[in-house]
Structure 1
Amino acid sequence: AFASGRLCLPEGGADVLPELLAASLPAGTVHTGVRVTSVATNAVTTAEHGVIRCRAVLVATGARSAAELLPGLRVPDFHPVTVVHHTTDEPPATGGHLLLDSERGGPVAHTAVISAVDPSRAPAGRALVSSTVLGPDRAGVDDAVRRHLARLYGVSTARWETLAVHHTAEAVPAMRPPHDLRRPVRLLAGLYVCGDHRDTSTLQGALHSARRAAAAILGDLGTGRPMHTS
Structure 2
Amino acid sequence: LRAFAGGRLSVPEGGAEVLPGLLARALPPGTVRTGVRVTSVSTTSVTTAEHGVLRCRAVLLATDARAAAELLPGLRVPGFHPVTVVHHTTDDPGPALSTGTSLLLDADRGGPVAHTAVISNVDPSRAPAGRTLISSTVLGTPPEDVDAAVRTHLSRLYGTPTNRWETLAVHHTPDAVPATRPAYDPHRPVRLLAGLYVCGDHRDTPTLQGALHSATRATTAILTDLGATSSMHLADPPATMPRAA
TMscore range, shorter length: over 0.9
Aligned equivalents of 1:60, 1:165: Cα separation in 2? 26
The more displaced of 203-212 and 118-127 is 118-127
Alpha carbons of structure 1 residues 155 and 56: separation in structure 2 relative to 1, 3 Å:
same
Counterpart pick for 1:95 among 96, 100, 109: 100
| AA at the equivalent of 1:203 | L
Q: Paired residues, what number?
A: 224
The structural deviation recorded for 1:90 is 3.1
Report if the CA contact (8 A) 2:39-2:49 is conserved.
Answer: yes
Alpha carbons of structure 1 residues 34 and 137: separation in structure 2 relative to 1, 3 Å:
farther
Q: SS of 1:3's equivalent?
A: helix
Q: SS of 1:96's equivalent?
A: coil
The structural deviation recorded for 1:125 is 3.0
The structural deviation recorded for 1:216 is 0.7
Counterpart pick for 2:119 among 103, 114, 122: 114
Aligned equivalents of 2:34, 2:186: Cα separation in 1? 30
Report if the CA contact (8 A) 1:7-1:117 is conserved.
Answer: no
Q: SS of 2:162's equivalent?
A: coil
2:60 is aligned to: 58
| AA at the equivalent of 1:25 | L
Q: SS of 1:2's equivalent?
A: helix
| AA at the equivalent of 2:166 | E
Q: SS of 1:95's equivalent?
A: coil
Identity level (%): 77
- Equivalent residues in 2 for 1:61-80, closer than 5 Å: 61-80=63-82
| AA at the equivalent of 1:3 | A
Counterpart pick for 1:179 among 176, 180, 184: 184
The structural deviation recorded for 1:8 is 0.8
The more displaced of 142-151 and 29-38 is 29-38
Higher relative contact order (CA 8 A, sep 6+): 2
Report if the CA contact (8 A) 1:44-1:53 is conserved.
Answer: yes
Residue 3 (1) aligns with residue 5 (2)? yes
1:152 is aligned to: 157
Q: TM-score, length-normalised on structure 2? A: 0.87
Report if the CA contact (8 A) 1:113-1:127 is conserved.
Answer: yes
- Equivalent residues in 2 for 1:1-230, closer than 5 Å: 1-91=3-93, 92-222=97-227
Aligned equivalents of 2:222, 2:208: Cα separation in 1? 21
Root mean square deviation of aligned Cα: 1.5
Report if the CA contact (8 A) 2:80-2:176 is conserved.
Answer: yes
Aligned equivalents of 1:223, 1:106: Cα separation in 2? 52
Aligned equivalents of 2:7, 2:107: Cα separation in 1? 19
Aligned equivalents of 2:143, 2:211: Cα separation in 1? 28
Q: TM-score, length-normalised on structure 1? A: 0.93
Aligned equivalents of 2:218, 2:92: Cα separation in 1? 45
| AA at the equivalent of 1:161 | E
Report if the CA contact (8 A) 1:7-1:96 is conserved.
Answer: no
Gaps of 5+ in 2: 230-245
The structural deviation recorded for 1:126 is 1.6
Aligned equivalents of 1:137, 1:149: Cα separation in 2? 15
Report if the CA contact (8 A) 1:199-1:205 is conserved.
Answer: yes
Aligned equivalents of 1:169, 1:136: Cα separation in 2? 9
The structural deviation recorded for 1:223 is 6.1
Q: SS of 1:171's equivalent?
A: strand
